[in-house]
Amino acid sequence: MSNDMKKKLKLKVSAIKDGTVIDHIPAKNLFTVITILGLDKIENQITFGTNLDSGKLGTKAIIKVSDKFFENDEINKIALIAPHAKLNIIRDYEVVEKKIVKIPEVIKGIVKCFNPKCITNHEKISTCFSVISKESLELKCKYCEKITSQDQIKMY
């Protein structure tokens, strides 16, 4: 079998001409990533695949967005739930750049504060956390000053 044939068989979602492919998203977090990036609100062509085989993650999801190129700040928002995500920037069907996501210093409006007595869980306030540990993922709430740890992270 030729390499081209193998490649075609391997492709489970169609190639795009220009845009971004986000790969290595944990399958269970696909729709959260879509929400965080606001992909449910844009008019670009989007294709995604989920429950695809992944050596690293077991199962993974992949998103292809045509004619969309993300800013670093924008894409880093998904680092909390897709820390191994990789971005391929596509121009004329070729990968011209690869990017990895990085956990930002400040997380705004994505994560709920785990503290039920925090004001952000009682009024309409956009949450804001400073990342105090990127390794074990600990987020300090700007308001109640409590630390939300990785196992307590819940998205809006």
Interacting residues with another protein (CB under 8 A): 113, 115, 117-120, 122-125, 141-147
CB of 56 to another protein, least distance (A): 32
Dihedral, 40, 33, 45, 68 alpha carbons, nearest 10: 110
Question: What does the alpha-carbon distance between residue 31 and residue 142 come to, in Å, rounded to a whole number?
Answer: 27
Q: Please list the residues that pair with 99 across neighbouring strands.
A: 87
| Residue with smaller CB distance to another protein, 63 or 141 | 141
At 3, the amino acid letter reads N
CA distance 108 to 41: 19
Q: Tell me the closest approach of the beta carbon of residue 121 to another protein, in angstroms.
A: 8
Min CB(38)–another protein separation in Å: 25
Instruction: Decide whether 117 or 154 has the Cβ nearer to another protein.
Output: 117
Nearer to another protein, 123 or 151 (CB): 123
What tokens were used for 142?
A: 């700007």
